[in-house]
Amino acid sequence: MYKRRTMTDTPGGDPLASSGWLLCDGHRAGGRLPKSDDLLTTTPITHRDEWNALLRSLPYAHILQTWEWGEFKRQTTGWQPRRLMFKQADQLVALASIGVRSVGPLKIMYAPKGPVFASDDPATWSLVLDHLAQMARRERVIWLKIDPDVALATGTPGEADDQAEAAGTALVGALKARGWRFSADQIQFRNTILIDLQRSEDDILAAMSQNTRRKIRIAEREGVRVRAGTTADLPILYDLYRITAARDGFLIRPPSYYELEWRALMEQGLAHALIAEIDEQPVGHVILFHFGRKCWYFTGASSNEQRDKMPNYLLQWEAMRWAKAQGYALYDMWGAPTNFDESDPLWGVYGFKRGFRGVVTRYVGAWDYAPSDLLYRLYTDAMPRVRRWLRRK
């Protein structure tokens, strides 16, 4: 089923670069024959079921690395997905779905929440990072951005629960040692709140703040009912999202963008919508993405009416109950402040999420590899309007 890459698999025709072989110290095989356990092979994966099955087997699997997410971004924004499998001694060590986009004669590349590693082995990470850097040089990219879903620390910075994570600390060290730079452009949320769903429902509820439990009970008492949404409800989902955006002052994309996103993932069994109703009138929703061990609270919205009946609190509780019933180990609330103070735009919603008493988790964030420092500085410093345009696409 798997094959070694050959010279014909890679543009450019360099037999050493295109073979996918690297040594443990990151240099190409040259004057000596490498040992078999030093070698890293890369293989493009071109079949959806094969890719998702491999990804699902990895502990750091993320919805943004699925086949479906790559196809959605290809159709809507022009990022062409390239899906690579990395193996060492015939063992799967990482996967990376990398979006590729042309900028004139050059390229930019981005692996959202990737690469996805199979273990916490720093030597393997180094091999994968070296291969990606080599690819960036060979293909004349301005930057290659990666964003591994590896925790750097848990807890709130400077507080009693602040604790470094060994895996994330080691990964950051490997990135710095190999010339990667922490990106000023963090596309995804760097921090989040994780809720352990392997506890009983009673224990999950008991761990919440007293105020959050009280508001869940208010919603139940005031007649809020939560039902599953389907693709037939897409107009309702967008309308509530539009109302929320107007109220909270953030920009959203046209309806066709969200319809394609939500429909594609719902039809593939990777998204689930819950709609809160009062007297059969929709007053709020959540859209959950789910894959591997995690369920993510990706999108939420509410109407301007009946907010005093606390539908959003009951929606979150029912979302956690649904995710637990499906066998997911973690509920990811998808987003916490970058700076844990009132200056951060997420501070308000953070107060809402914090009441559910999950673990604040801070990830390593996005890192860029730039073969040309000059091109990188021109792109990131002198072309802000171009970058804003790309982000809208």
Total domain count, the chain? 2
Q: Which CATH number characterizes residue 164's domain?
A: 3.40.630.30
SS3 11: coil
Residue 247 included in any domain: yes
User: How close are the terminal C-alpha atoms of the chain, in Å?
Assistant: 36
Asked whether residue 327 falls in the same domain as residue 231, the answer is yes
Q: Is there a single domain that holds both residue 144 and residue 172?
A: yes
Name every residue whose Cβ is closer than 8 Å to that of residue 392 and which is 6 or more positions away in sequence. none
Query: Pick from 273, 234, 276, 280: which is nearest to 257 by CA?
Result: 234
Residue 2 lies in a domain: no
Integer Cα distance of 60 and 117 in angstroms: 6
Strands 271-278 and 367-369: unpaired
- 12 shares its domain with 106: yes
CA distance 64 to 36: 33
Pairing between β-strand 141-146 and β-strand 106-111 as defined by DSSP bridges: parallel
Give yes or no for a contact between 259 and 234, defined as CB atoms under 8 angstroms apart: yes
pLDDT at 30: 36
Q: Which two tokens stand for residue 5?
A: 């890459």
Could you tell me how many residues make up the chain? Answer: 393
Q: Are 84 and 43 in contact (CB under 8 A)?
A: yes
Classify each residue of 108-132 as buried b or exposed e, where b means 16 or more C-beta atoms within 10 Å of its C-beta: bbbbbbbbbbbebeeebbbbbbbbb
- Among 41, 8, 5, CA closest to 23: 41
What's the rounded Cα separation, in Å, for the pair 366 and 351?
25
Assigned domain for 1 exists: no
pLDDT of 385 reads: 65
Q: Are residues 302 and 207 in the same domain?
A: yes
Q: How many CB atoms lie within 10 A of CB 343?
A: 9
Would 163 be classed as within a structural domain? yes
Q: Identify whether residues 281 and 381 lie together within a single domain.
A: no
In a domain, 14, yes or no: yes
**Side-chain-side CA neighbours of residue 388 (13 Å):** 6
The predicted pLDDT at position 306 comes to 95
pLDDT of residue 392: 59
Residue given tokens 């990811």 in the structure block: 332
Tell me, yes or no, whether 83 and 177 share the same domain.
Answer: yes
Task: Tell me: do 212 and 69 sit in the same domain.
Answer: no
Asked if residue 262 and residue 248 are part of one domain, the reply reads yes
Are 328 and 299 members of one domain? yes
Distance CA 241, CA 250 (A): 10
pLDDT at residue 384, rounded to an integer: 66
Whether the model pTM is above 0.85:
yes
- Helical residues (DSSP H) of 8-121, grouped into ranges: 15-18, 48-56, 67-77
Tell me: do 70 and 143 sit in the same domain. yes
- Rounded to whole angstroms, the Cα distance separating 109 from 290 reads 25
Q: Give just the sign of the alpha carbon dihedral 389, 390, 392, 393.
A: positive
| DSSP secondary structure of 290-311 | EETTEEEEEEEEE-SSSGGG-H
333 vs 262: CA distance, rounded Å: 18
Task: Say if residue 102 is in the same domain as residue 162.
Answer: yes
Instruction: Tell me the C-alpha distance between 17 and 386, whole Å.
Output: 32
- Residue 387 has what pLDDT? 53
For every residue of 100-168, DSSP letters joined together read EEEETTEEEEEETT--EESS--HHHHHHHHHHHHHHHHHTTEEEEEE----EEEES-TTSTT-EE-HHH
pLDDT tens, per residue, the chain with 393 residues: 333 333 223 333 332 233 333 333 333 333 333 444 568 999 999 999 999 999 999 999 999 999 999 999 999 999 999 999 999 999 999 999 999 999 899 999 999 999 999 999 999 999 999 999 999 999 999 999 999 999 999 999 999 999 999 999 999 999 999 999 999 999 999 999 999 999 999 999 999 999 999 999 999 999 999 999 999 999 999 999 999 999 999 999 999 999 999 999 999 999 999 999 999 999 999 999 999 999 999 999 999 999 999 999 999 999 999 999 999 999 999 999 999 999 999 999 999 999 999 999 999 999 999 999 999 998 888 666 655 665 555
Domain that holds residue 272: 194-362
